[in-house]
Structure 1
Amino acid sequence: MELDKDSLQFVFGSTIRALHKATALEFDKSGLEISPEQYHLLKIIASKEDSIQAELAEIMQLDKSGIMRHIDQMEARGFVQRVNDAQDRRKKYIVLTESGIQKLDNCKIALDKMANTILKGVSDAELLIFKQVLTKLKENAGG
């Protein structure tokens, strides 16, 4: 069977892998010591006031044990902390620390630098259309 390199799935998948790899390399070059997944997780935690592990797993579309590994690693590095719920001691919120906020800011700087490279030759109008098409594809796929 011949590989169809023009198929939407191939082009999209290879683009996502390339962007993920470029992000990881930029984070490494910048000395950030964080994975792209952990960066996205920090962004989600920063945007939600009361983040719990189950919700984070659902948003990231990862299993709970995968999210727990990321949270454990980030907690060990001081980027997040677990805080007990006042009414339900079994429930723990994941919150950013000052170090986590600083890490997010540093990642944003690295990503802005990377954007200048990866968006070279792409107009604002093309980028807007691309985002709209991606949104439609996601909705049509049931996401």
Structure 2
Amino acid sequence: MSDFLTMPGYLIRRAHQAATARFAEEMSKAGLTLTPFQYAALSAIAAQPGLDQARVAQMADCDRATMGGVLDRLVERGLVERGVSRKDRRARVLHLTESGLALLDAARPVAEAVQRSLTEGMTDAERAILTDLLSRIAGRRA
């Protein structure tokens, strides 16, 4: 029987824990209150203003119910606004507020530094291999 400490699933879980903890630590050091899911939601909305909740969830690879809660909290904090779609009056679209954009602008360099720190000590080629392998496991192509 294989040692569980070398099983890919175990190592992926531990890597996720380390990445999430580092993200939280660095955001806190920067005086920012933002989770990885919130960062993903803000980034998706900034990239494509006017998205609906389902599309934001899809872009962040998150289920719609979980993303609904994330977006509710962002709306409560005044970072995201929900509006009525001009194309479909039943649909709600999302836009960043000025506060949301300012938070994302402040968080982006912190998030990017965290990503670099996760692979420090790796060569560019090793980073590319890691990204490719993780993308395959996640069901995506880099």
TM-score by length of 2: 0.85
> 3-state DSSP class of the match of 2:40?
helix
> Hey, what's the Cα distance between the residues in 1 that align with 2:46 and 2:39?
11
- Give ranges in structure 1 of 5+ residues lacking alignment: none
User: Which region of structure 1 is more displaced relative to structure 2, 87-96 or 22-31?
Assistant: 87-96
Matches within 5 A, 1:1-143: 4-139=4-139
Q: Which moved more, 1:13-22 or 1:68-77?
A: 68-77
Q: Deviations over 1:84-106 (max 9, x none)?
A: 11243221101112221211111
Distance 1:17 1:115 in 2: 13
Following superposition, the deviation at residue 5 of structure 1 comes to 0.7
Identity of aligned residues (%): 27
Q: Where does structure 2 lack aligned partners over 5 or more consecutive residues?
A: none
- 1: CA distance between counterparts of 2:87 and 2:130? 45
3-state SS of the aligned residue for 1:31? Answer: coil
TM score, norm. by length of structure 1:
0.84
CA distance in 2, matches of 1:35, 1:59: 16
SS at match of 1:5: helix
CA distance in 2, matches of 1:13, 1:109: 25
Mapped to 2, the partners of 1:114 and 1:57 lie a distance apart of 23
Whole-angstrom distance in 2 between the partners of 1:45 and 1:68 = 14
Change (3 A) 1:117 1:78: same
- The separation in 2 between residues aligned to 1:88 and 1:94, in whole angstroms, is 14
CA distance in 1, matches of 2:117, 2:63: 33
The alignment partner of 2:106 has SS state of helix
Tell me the distance in 2 between the aligned counterparts of 1:38 and 1:133.
25
Equivalent-residue separation in structure 1 for 2:138 and 2:68 (angstroms): 26
Residue correspondences, number: 141
Amino acid at match of 2:44: I
